[in-house]
Structure 1
């Protein structure tokens, strides 16, 4: 396994290994970051951070790769991107009165479009997403409230709900600007 070879070899060997890992895993990482709204430069930054984490774990023998290095690096990249996304995203608090008022305003075409695409995911998905994003319920509470066996199951279901909405938007080839018209 390549992770075991990092710590005891020469600089040239480590460089060759990093180049091989970069060639093997970076295209998938860049595709993921792009899909999640990031730029090519952001993908490079996040992936390089993932390589550093990989290297540090390999050198300290803390690494336990169960699939392969590419999947491991992609997992680190996804986690780093989501962390960056959460930190960079502005948090605007809503109270339930604001949400109810916004969705009742039928004169707002953006709200109508957004609600239409959220409804395509189904009522349970809408309730789950509302509970997480607007009511700010922790995942543990969501799992209990919606009857999931674990927080992981609730997280997976939340992701699936978001993917349903994303797929519908992609099928219609919509952009952010379409919601502002």
Structure 2
């Protein structure tokens, strides 16, 4: 190898090392949060890193974001794509078919769900019911509840959902806690 190739290889190695240290922790945290393993996070990150490197060294392609943002966004996209493909291609054998049937029979208890929705307050219950159960558009919800606009109604709906989430988190509840 000549000196130019060695310098180019060293520069590429340094770039990969820097990007790995800078971006991989965020990718690993995201994949872990979405139920993936550390090895899956490494695979997704490496695919995203290669994609970035190939695109950044192509003359006709311009990347309009920072290196880290591009790699992180690509890794997220790849993880979502991998996750969807994995859930669609799982083979069903007799035992898994039985467990799916059993899961559909164990429906969440409406009383338990309603109890946690009530912790958000009466107004929140009415707002959430109007949007999710009655399927009213946000413009109508804003009018009904006297909000200044759709944005205000959307923010309030989000706050109501967060109240319920906080209650569930405080009590460290899982899905099984809502089954009858």
- Scaled by the length of structure 2, the TM-score of the pair is 0.55
Alpha carbons of structure 1 residues 147 and 75: separation in structure 2 relative to 1, 3 Å: same
Alpha carbons of structure 1 residues 11 and 170: separation in structure 2 relative to 1, 3 Å: farther
**Cα offsets for 1:48-84 (capped at 9, x unmatched):** 1111111111111423233x21122111111111111
Alpha carbons of structure 1 residues 126 and 78: separation in structure 2 relative to 1, 3 Å: farther
Q: Decide whether the 8 Å contact of 2:131 with 2:137 is kept in 1.
A: no
More deviation, 112-121/54-63: 112-121
Q: What is the aligned partner in structure 1 of residue 102 from structure 2?
A: none
Q: CA deviation at 1:38?
A: 1.2
Q: Decide whether the 8 Å contact of 1:50 with 1:76 is kept in 2.
A: yes
Q: What is the aligned partner in structure 1 of residue 129 from structure 2?
A: 123
Q: What is the aligned partner in structure 1 of residue 50 from structure 2?
A: 52
Q: CA deviation at 1:125?
A: 5.9
Alpha carbons of structure 1 residues 77 and 110: separation in structure 2 relative to 1, 3 Å: same
- Scaled by the length of structure 1, the TM-score of the pair is 0.54
Structure 2 residue corresponding to 1:82, chosen from 67, 80, 83: 80
Correspondence list, 1:1-181, <5 A: 10-61=8-59, 62-66=61-65, 68-90=66-88, 110-112=108-110, 113=112, 122-123=128-129, 126=132, 146=137, 164=161, 167-168=165-166, 169-179=168-178
Highest CA radius of gyration, 1 or 2?
2
Q: Decide whether the 8 Å contact of 2:49 with 2:71 is kept in 1.
A: yes
Instruction: Give unpaired runs (5+ residues) of structure 1.
Output: 1-8, 92-106, 132-144, 149-156
Alpha carbons of structure 1 residues 83 and 109: separation in structure 2 relative to 1, 3 Å: closer
Q: What is the aligned partner in structure 2 of residue 152 from structure 1?
A: none
Instruction: Give unpaired runs (5+ residues) of structure 2.
Output: 1-6, 90-104, 140-153
Q: Decide whether the 8 Å contact of 1:46 with 1:81 is kept in 2.
A: yes
